[in-house]
A = this chain, B = another copy of it.
């Protein structure tokens, strides 16, 4: 592991000052054209040199018939060409003195012996010129903080804090909208493809040093350099959490991975062992992986596993309690002094057990600020889970009681929801103990949408919230163990 991020083989892949692109044209169905569109759309502001055998210009950029004709040596070559020509193009790039490449083209090792032979040629060309490259058979890379999206799909989410390396390009590009839904996003995302030159361990080391990355996510079908993976992760985990989703644990999953990237998977328990030794948190789905990243990146780490649940609805409270128990979390009784403080907020139909169930009958305003703060001060409590919903009608009704017209009530309600969600998100972010929300509502609710926008972790449902909190507790323990 090098010390400076600039020394990583991935640095100029993720932060190129200038690029050459092969395979982009004015033909809109071409993959390379799509990648160039993405690069331009995100606002990349370095020089772009399309290399094209016939076109004068490509998407408004002067095109060159050979890479050797470029007026400067770009930092990065992006290659999206038919497989057989890729090795010779790599050779030409090397001759030009280009140090790094992203090879998007597929048809190499993953398709059999013939492809493997081409991949060998590709490696040899790169080796002759000390080039390092991402891929082949990958979907590119994105660095939202550098305004660089070299993938086929547009990335509309804001610059984020999740650094990801993925053995499937889909789990970079096809997650843009998924993450954007919750106002999350990648800091940097690498699709590693066949890992012929840089692999997931290189990505891990790069992301560890990336200042925009608060948490590292990995999609893994197979780890090729097991020992190096474990060593790298053990050094990183005390400073930055790593969450991995491994898919090859079943026979069917393993077979699918094999025909996807030629990866040889190992049994679940082998990978469980690898992750345990590495200090890596194992997620069991893509969604779970991002849920855990979301919480780790936005709220404090729990010191223990004792959770208090706050709800105004019995069912969602009971479900959360059950989910906590299934995720290694305990539900302590709250302290007597907490009960005393809560007494003024909780009506007779409410419960001061854990879940603390306020029912529906008292002031709405206390629910999101005062009561959570009382609960967080409890010494028996390591973390807070709050059920969140605020039906528009309820807010409208309260607004109307002030004697205003329905039109004014609507304005007041919108203002109220906006103010409350901003305040609430601030409180959640600044709390010294983790405080996460859960809800069955999502973007269709103004309130929840505003909370997402303000950066609050409001997880979709109690099971996902409890699992994420359980994983945070797990990370706390792993970090402590590895820091010794």
Task: Show the binding face of A for B, using Cβ within 8 Å.
Answer: 27-29, 31, 33-34, 37, 106-107, 111, 152-154, 166-171, 174-175, 177-178, 180-181, 219, 221, 247-253, 255-257, 259-261, 284-287, 309, 313-326, 330-331, 348-349, 351, 353, 355, 357, 359-360, 389, 391, 393-394, 397-398, 400-401, 440-445, 460-463
User: Which residue in B27, B107, B323, B351 is a CB contact (below 8 Å) of A401?
Assistant: B27
A250 touches B397 (CB 8 A): no
Given A252-B324, A313-B174, A319:B285 Cβ within 8 A:
yes
Residue contact A253 to B313, C-beta cutoff 8 Å: no
Do A168 and B316 form a contact, CB below 8 Å, given A393-B37, A461-B287?
yes
30 A–B contacts from the bound complex (CB under 8 Å): A29-B397, A29-B398, A29-B401, A34-B394, A153-B391, A153-B393, A168-B318, A170-B314, A170-B315, A174-B440, A175-B440, A177-B445, A178-B441, A221-B318, A247-B322, A250-B326, A253-B318, A253-B319, A253-B325, A255-B321, A256-B314, A256-B321, A256-B355, A259-B355, A260-B314, A260-B315, A261-B314, A284-B463, A287-B461, A443-B444
Determine the chain B residues whose CB is within 8 A of the CB of A442 once the complex forms. 181
Q: List, in ascending order, chain B residues with CB within 8 A of A398's CB.
A: 28-29
Residues of B within 8 A of A249 (CB): 322
Q: How far, in whole Å, are A154 and B28 apart by their CA atoms in the complex?
A: 46
Kindly report how many copies of this chain are found in the complex they form together.
2
Given that A34-B397, A397-B34 are known contacts, is A250 also in contact with B316, CB under 8 Å in the complex?
no
The closest CB in chain B to the CB of A179 belongs to B440
Q: Is the CB of B250 within 8 A of A325?
A: yes
* 8 extra A-B contacts, CB within 8 A, seeds A169-B313, A250-B326: A37-B393, A154-B393, A177-B444, A221-B318, A248-B318, A248-B322, A251-B325, A261-B314
